[in-house]
C-alpha cells in the first residue's frame, strides 16, 4: 500500500506567528520536520501543505515537495484532504504535525504498519502516562482503549476516573494512556471524515478526533514508549534550539 506523508504548515499562529519559518539552530522548523519525516522507510513521499507563499519558497529552498492549499481550512486534517484529492493512486496518508522538529521516523513507520491492516480506517499512537502532572494537565489528551486496541474516547480530563482514590495515586492503581497527536488515514476515510459536520463532543472537548468517533469511525491505536515534542510557545522554541545544539543536528 502506497502511503504519503503530508505536513500541514499554516503561517498564522496566535502564539508564534510564522512558526514554520522560525529558526532552530540554523534550520527552519519546517525543514527540520521534513528532514525527519523523509527518513521514514514506509513513506513513498512527503509533501508540505501550506497556505502561504513564504513557506512554499522555504520548502523549495531545501529541495522539499510543497503544495499550496486553501487558507480557509479549519484544521490540518482538512489541509491533508485537499492534497490527498490529487493522489488517487495512494492507499493512505499520514498527517505529520508541522511543529514537531524532532519527530522520530520510527514513529511514522509504526503508525503505517497499523494502517496496513485492511480493516483499519484511522490510526494513531499512544503511550502510557509517566507523571501525575502530565495526567492532570488539560493540555494533554487522554484516551481509553477497548480490547481490540481501538480508541473508545478521548478527553482532556483523566479517564478513567478512579473513584475513591487520590489522583496522586492513580498511576499506581491503573494504566492511563496519553494520545500522541499523529494520525494516519486510509485515503477514502480521510475524504469522508473531512465532510462531516462538527459534533457536540468535539465542540465540548475541542478534540477533532471525537467527530470521527461520534460518526462511528474506528481509530486503531499503536502503543509507543516515546513521546512527541511540539513547539507551541516561545519557551518551547528556546528548548528546541537547545535540543538541536545538544544533539548536533
Tell me the per-residue pLDDT of 47-102, one tens digit each, with 9 for 90 and over: 999 999 999 999 999 999 999 998 888 888 999 999 999 998 999 999 999 999 99
Class of domain 118-227: alpha beta
Q: In degrees to the nearest 10, what's the CA dihedral of 92, 74, 59, 184?
A: -20
Average pLDDT of every residue of the chain: 94
Please give the average per-residue pLDDT across 102-119, as a whole number: 95
**What's the grid cell of residue 166?**
487520590
- Residue 249 CA to residue 39 CA, distance in Å, equals 14
**What's the grid cell of residue 245?**
545544539
> Domain coordinates of the chain in residue numbers?
1-103, 118-227
pTM over 0.75: yes
- Confidence bin at 121 (pLDDT 50/70/90): very high
Strands in 156-227 per DSSP E: 177-186, 219-223
- Residue 132 CA to residue 249 CA, distance in Å, equals 32
Whether the pLDDT of residue 249 is over 70: the answer is no
Please give the average per-residue pLDDT across 120-132, as a whole number: 96
Residue 173 · residue 160 · CB < 8 Å: no
- The whole-number pLDDT of residue 38 equals 97
**Which of 62, 76, 59, 23 lies closest to 193, judged by CA?**
76
CATH number given to 1-103: 3.90.550.10
Residue scoring higher pLDDT (75 or 32): 32
C-beta neighbour count of 237 within 10 angstroms: 20
- The whole-number pLDDT of residue 174 equals 95
**Which of 142, 128, 126 lies closest to 222, judged by CA?**
126
Please give the average per-residue pLDDT across 117-141, as a whole number: 95
- The whole-number pLDDT of residue 248 equals 65
Residue 98 · residue 24 · CB < 8 Å: no
Q: In degrees to the nearest 10, what's the CA dihedral of 21, 27, 31, 35?
A: -160
- Residue 119 CA to residue 14 CA, distance in Å, equals 38
- The whole-number pLDDT of residue 49 equals 96
- Residue 222 CA to residue 111 CA, distance in Å, equals 7
DSSP string, 27-43: EEHHHHHHHHHTT-TT-
Fold matches, 1-103 and 118-227: yes
- Confidence bin at 220 (pLDDT 50/70/90): very high
Amino acid at each position: 500500500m502506497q502511503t504519503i506523508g503530508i505536513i500541514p504548515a499554516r503561517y498564522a499562529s496566535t502564539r508564534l506567528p510564522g512558526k514554520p519559518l522560525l529558526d532552530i539552530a540554523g534550520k527552519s522548523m519546517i525543514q527540520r520536520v521534513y528532514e525527519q519525516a523523509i527518513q521514514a522507510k514506509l513513506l513513498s513521499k512527503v509533501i508540505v501543505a501550506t497556505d502561504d507563499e513564504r513557506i512554499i519558497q522555504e520548502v523549495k529552498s531545501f529541495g522539499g515537495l510543497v503544495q499550496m492549499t486553501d487558507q480557509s481550512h479549519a484544521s490540518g486534517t482538512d489541509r491533508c484532504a485537499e492534497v490527498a484529492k490529487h493522489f488517487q493512486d495512494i492507499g493512505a496518508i499520514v498527517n505529520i504535525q508541522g511543529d514537531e522538529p524532532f519527530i522520530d521516523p520510527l514513529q511514522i513507520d509504526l503508525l503505517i504498519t497499523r494502517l496496513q491492516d485492511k480493516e483499519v480506517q484511522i490510526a494513531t499512537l499512544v503511550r502510557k502516562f509517566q507523571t501525575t502532572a502530565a495526567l492532570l494537565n488539560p493540555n494533554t489528551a487522554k484516551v481509553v482503549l477497548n480490547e481490540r486496541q481501538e480508541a473508545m474516547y478521548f478527553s482532556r480530563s483523566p479517564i478513567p476516573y478512579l473513584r475513591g482514590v487520590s489522583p496522586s495515586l492513580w498511576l499506581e492503581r491503573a494504566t492511563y494512556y496519553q494520545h500522541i497527536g499523529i494520525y494516519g488515514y486510509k485515503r477514502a476515510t480521510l475524504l469522508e471524515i473531512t465532510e462531516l459536520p462538527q459534533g457536540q463532543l468535539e465542540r465540548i472537548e475541542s478534540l477533532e478526533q471525537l467527530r470521527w468517533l461520534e460518526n462511528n469511525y474506528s481509530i486503531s491505536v499503536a502503543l509507543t514508549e516515546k513521546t512527541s515534542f511540539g513547539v507551541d510557545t516561545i519557551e518551547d522554541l528556546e528548548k528546541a534550539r537547545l535540543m538541536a545544539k545538544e544533539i548536533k543536528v
